[in-house]
Amino acid sequence: MNQLPNLTEILRNTFQTLIDQFIDFVPRILGAVVVMIIGVGVARLASFIVRRVLGRVGFDKIGDRLNEISIIKQLKTEIKLSEIISKVLYYFILLVFITAATETLGVAAITEMVSSLVNFIPKLIAAAIMLQVGVLLADTLRGAVLNLCQSFNINSGRLLSMIVFVFFLIITIISALGQAGINTELLESSFNLIIGGVIFAFAIGYGFASRDVMANILSSFYTKNKYQEGQIIQVDDVKGEILKIDTMSLTLRTGETTTVVPLQTLQTKKVEVFQPID
């Protein structure tokens, strides 16, 4: 018959192991707590100093420029770059100390997770800077297009300038996400399809809308050597002296009035010439 195990010895060894592990773990916990307390103090001090320095050197003026953009105003928020940068610095330093604390505890899984967050912050900062510069550039281009359209008295200037702004803003957002390490292949392909569809639709619409204009321009190449200023011609029931010929039309003096005849009409209607010019 087999001898029964000594339960007292087993229990004693189990409790002894637990006590040894607890005694070994308590200093680690205390060390991690001390590291965290120091980290919080350093992070707050660094954040305070950076916020005060950036505020004094006028760094927030860039944020004021962003706040003037219409799309930012619609969000009903105020961007203060000194506070944003100080907060980012605070959490970055805090994560560094959290990494040191988890290393003190010896928990590898938590250490790897916090380390990945620490490595992600520089990418996030670079993406934020790229986004900020892109928004400013898009707004500058929007203003330039709007001023150009207003100088040429184009009624749809605001719409065109907003299209330009949104186009460059989307490109900036996609680039910033890529800088942050986020896969943007689906966004890029979708954006390319949308842009291609818009351009194709615009080309077709513009082609239909301007077909008469193009017909008149082409007609000018065929008629410029046949008709000259001073000739008297008759187009259908309209008879008069040619006063002016441009790339789009022909102007006739018909008695006390003038008549503008599209050049395309000269290719499709019967034209009689009464006074040729040598």
pLDDT on residue 195: 74
Q: Which residues of the chain fall short of a pLDDT of 70?
A: 1-7, 20-22, 70-77, 107, 152, 154, 198, 201-225, 247, 267-268, 275-278
pLDDT on residue 276: 55
d(CA 227, CA 216): 15
pLDDT on residue 127: 81
d(CA 106, CA 25): 9
Residue type, 145: V
pLDDT on residue 96: 85
Bridge-partner residues for 234, per DSSP? 239, 272
Helices (H) and strands (E) in the chain, counts: 9, 5
pLDDT on residue 2: 52
Q: Are 164 and 145 in contact (CB under 8 A)?
A: yes
d(CA 30, CA 23): 11
Q: Are 136 and 65 in contact (CB under 8 A)?
A: yes
pLDDT on residue 207: 56
Phi/psi at 44 (nearest 5 deg)? -65, -40
d(CA 168, CA 162): 10
> What is the H or E stretch that residue 212 is in?
helix 211-223
Pick the CATH number of 213-273 from 2.30.30.60, 3.40.50.1370, 3.30.70.360, 3.40.50.720: 2.30.30.60
Question: Hey, how many other C-beta atoms are within 10 angstroms of the C-beta on 94?
Answer: 19
pLDDT on residue 49: 92
Query: Residue 233, class by beta-carbon neighbours within 10 Å (0-12 exposed, 13-18 middle, 19+ buried)?
Result: buried
Nearest alpha carbon to residue 262 among 193, 230, 214: 214
Question: In Å, how far from its chain's centre is CA 47?
Answer: 30
160-198 b/e with 16+ CB inside 10 Å = b? ebeebbebbbbbbbbbbbbbbeeebeeeeeebeeeeeee
Q: Are 191 and 169 in contact (CB under 8 A)?
A: no
d(CA 218, CA 206): 17
- Please provide the size of the chain in residues: 278
Structure token pair of residue 144: 């330039």
d(CA 146, CA 77): 25
pLDDT on residue 1: 45
pLDDT on residue 243: 81
- Residue boundaries of the structural domains of the chain: 7-183, 213-273
d(CA 30, CA 54): 36
d(CA 31, CA 253): 101
CA distances from 268 to 201, 203, 215, 259, 261 (A): 30, 27, 11, 17, 12
